Structure 1
């Protein structure tokens, strides 16, 4: 069964060699450039990744562009900033390939120096608590490393194109009766500064987008 890895990318030139160089055999990377100005797209292409340009800014816009480009049976999503090790992808994919789960998320386990500030961890905790209470989804982390069937995910019809995309994926999957689980993955020090959780303002913006999705879907 084929696997493709969707990597939303905005100015991640410093991290891409490490990330793409650690991609497991058989896992084909799709780097979705979301308006980089540091040459990320050209470097990703030089390193052998398929590169997709998504001019419309937004995390969800980049993720969905990658999803629509992919053709593999299974798709993975992960950040392109080196905060997650691609060599852990097979552990996330394994329950899907074995037929034990339909959507698997990597639960982030902080490593020394990991780039996950307190305000971002708090926002994540609040959202996952609401997810458990309002939608009955037993997750402890809305992790950015995840895996599922490509065709089934396309069929869910995700509409958010901002920071609510990861939450909408989980909520629509739960509504569709998917088996959702998580596995532990090491969370490392990222390269460069986060465009979202690196600032309080960015975290609040992401939480606001996700709360909007929660209000709409978790009823």
Structure 2
């Protein structure tokens, strides 16, 4: 079996992170929770649940993901597959089997768990999330010929492919940056439908006007940045 690690960025997810960790399939070698300067007990709960806990004091989803990647790349034995998921319990960790299967089967190097309407709990995605995803993926289809339908955070990628992407976004543009770089580098990818439910707590992005606006600006910025290169 290929070695698989999971990276979970987490900011004030003390009420949910333990449940997320408990439901990650046992085939995962290591669960890495990056505590993004939480003010609650996220770090303590994650550590008690058996995760490796890292601290990233710079606020931002991308900062947290990069911290996890730097940790993994510094190990004496690097993994074959890196999986990213959120710590708010909106994903179904047990769907990890579906997300990694196309990579294990040698079909692709990158997989996005697509939050399809048929498998998505009513109200799990806000109207602004649905609109933002729809607009971003529409533009990606028009400009890059993409087949992506979602910017879902639940995703898996070969370790070597991830390192080759040289990820750099520190905040809201992390997911779209990864997908755009996959398209530009012509890396084999696919989507698999995954279940999605209402998160525990309030989203730090779509749950606030400021977060929604900044996320939208960052995502569109990445899309148009690559269109003129």
Structure 1 residues 147-181: Cα deviation after superposition (integer angstroms, max 9, x where no partner): 01112211211111111111111111111110121
Q: Aligned pair 1:160/2:169, yes or no? A: yes
Question: For residue 39 of structure 1, what is the aligned residue in structure 2?
Answer: 41
SS of the equivalent of 1:187 reads coil
Give the gaps of 5 or more residues in structure 2.
Answer: 73-77
Pick one of 88, 95, 98 that aligns with 1:88. 95
Task: Work out the CA distance in 1 between the residues paired with 2:51 and 2:216.
Answer: 31
- Could you state the TM-score of these two structures normalised by the residue count of structure 2? 0.92
Any gaps of 5 or more consecutive residues in structure 1? none
2:116, 2:142 → 1: CA distance? 23
Deviations 1:110-155 (A, max 9, x none): 4334431111110111001011111111011111100011122112
Report if aligned partners of 1:8, 1:80 keep a CA contact under 8 Å in 2.
Answer: yes
Give, in angstroms, the shift of residue 201 of structure 1. Answer: 2.9
Paired residue total: 219
Q: Following the alignment from structure 1 to structure 2, what is the Cα–Cα distance between the partners of residues 136 and 103?
A: 17
TM-score, scaled relative to structure 1: 0.96
Deviates further, 23-32 or 110-119: 110-119
Which one is further off, 6-15 or 19-28? Answer: 19-28
Q: Distance in 1 between matches of 2:20 and 2:56?
A: 20
How far did 1:191 drift? 0.4
- Distance (whole Å) between structure 2 residues aligned to residue 112 and residue 6 of structure 1: 24
The aligned counterpart of 1:75 is 82
Shift of 1:109: 2.9
Distance in 1 of aligned mates of 2:208 and 2:128: 8
